[in-house]
Amino acid sequence: MKFPNNLYVLRNNKGLQQKEVSEAIGVGQSEYSKMERGDRKLGIHLDKLLQFFGVDEDRLFTNASPIYQKPVEYKMPPLEDLPMYGLPLPNGGEGFQVQKKMFTHCARPDYLIGVSSAYACFMLSNNMEQRYFYGEILFVDPTLQIKEKDFVVVQIKAGDRTIGLIRKVAEVSDRQFKLSTLNPDNTEVFKNSDIIAIHKIVGSRSNIE
């Protein structure tokens, strides 16, 4: 039995990934995907979805058609490789080298299918241990807007190199970012003029499977 709705249309109109909506309403991405396809009733999540998309029930359900899962939702194949950037620093310091060329690749998660600028990198320090652990693969979407509480890769200049650091966003302003580590709990100020790029981390995977 199908439970058709307009979640797919509403999400795509906002240019959002399924993972962003699922996190906003407090469910796993795979569970949200089933609701979007009409394989699950919206149930207790209905009010949160209406609030998130800023619509009423008529907009959510009127003229809705079942979405039948296709082998590929986008033009890009679901198992397309995701480029990995960032070799360890020669001196063993925190962060990784940011290069224009990838040094390896990994399987692209489904929530980054169609995001041509997405990439992955390794977590190469222990300073975010409450969230990310040494050796984990981090998945990054450069197209998303950065907000407070996001986890990010911030690219800065260090001597003649560009390095990437993993941080949590504590505060965003017009002139600077306050970015934190978790282990130890420490906050630094990064001026916008010193930041080359700052990209949102949207997922992770242990490298040991």
pLDDT digits (tens, 9 = 90+) for 131-168: 999 889 999 999 999 999 999 999 999 888 889 999 99
In the structure, what pLDDT confidence band is assigned to residue 124 with cuts at 50, 70 and 90?
confident
Note the pLDDT tens digit of each residue in 53-65. 999 998 888 877 6
Are 168 and 151 in contact by the 8 Å Cβ rule? The answer is: yes
Check: pTM over 0.85? Answer yes or no.
no
Mind listing the domains of the chain with CATH numbers? 7-61 (1.10.260.40), 81-205 (2.10.109.10)
DSSP assignment of 31-86: HHHHHHHTSS--GGGHHHHHHHHT--HHHHHTT----PPPS-SSSS-TT-EEEE--
Q: What share of the chain is helix, strand, coil (3-state, %, to 5)?
A: 20, 30, 45
* Angstrom distance (rounded) from CA 53 to CA 29: 17
Kindly report, residue by residue over 81-116, the tens digit of the pLDDT: 888 888 887 777 788 888 766 678 888 888 998 898
Reading the block at residue 139, the tokens are 């998945």
Length of the chain: 209
Q: Whole-angstrom Cα distance, residue 44 to residue 107? A: 34
pLDDT at 26 over 90: yes
